[in-house]
Structure 1
Amino acid sequence: MSTVILTEAAAYEVKDMMKSNNMPNGYLRVSVKGGGCTGLSYGMSAEEEPAENDETLEFFGVKVLVDKKDVPILNGTTIDFKTSLMGGGFSIENPNAIAACGCGSSFKTRDVAGTPENC
Structure 2
Amino acid sequence: MSRPSIMTLSEAAAERVRDLMRRSDPPIAGLRIGIKKGGCAGMEYTMDAVAEADPKDEVIEEDGARVFIDKAAVLFLLGCRMGYEVTKFRSGFTFENPNQVSACGCGESVELKAAS
TM superposition score category, shorter chain reference: 0.7 to 0.9
**1: distance between equivalents of 2:35 and 2:28?**
23
**1: distance between equivalents of 2:113 and 2:18?**
33
Any conservation in 2 of the 1:27–1:46 contact (CA below 8 Å)?
yes
Show the counterpart of 2:49: 46
Any conservation in 2 of the 1:50–1:65 contact (CA below 8 Å)?
yes
Ranked by relative contact order (alpha carbons within 8 Å, sequence separation 6 or more), the top structure is 1
Query: Residue 69 of structure 1 aligns to a residue in which SS?
Result: helix
Show the counterpart of 1:28: 31
What TM-score comes out, normalization by structure 1 length? 0.83
**1: distance between equivalents of 2:22 and 2:52?**
16
Give the total of aligned pairs.
112
**1: distance between equivalents of 2:38 and 2:46?**
11
75, 81, 84: which one pairs with 2:87?
84
Give 5+ residue unaligned stretches, structure 2: none
1:87, CA displacement in angstroms? 4.7
Any conservation in 1 of the 2:32–2:48 contact (CA below 8 Å)?
yes
Q: Percent of aligned pairs with the same residue?
A: 39
Give 5+ residue unaligned stretches, structure 1: 112-119
What TM-score comes out, normalization by structure 2 length? 0.84
Query: Residue 72 of structure 2 aligns to a residue in which SS?
Result: coil
**2: distance between equivalents of 1:26 and 1:60?**
14
**2: distance between equivalents of 1:70 and 1:86?**
29
45, 56, 59: which one pairs with 2:59?
56
1:52, CA displacement in angstroms? 2.4
CA RMSD, aligned part only? 1.9
99, 103, 106: which one pairs with 2:106?
103
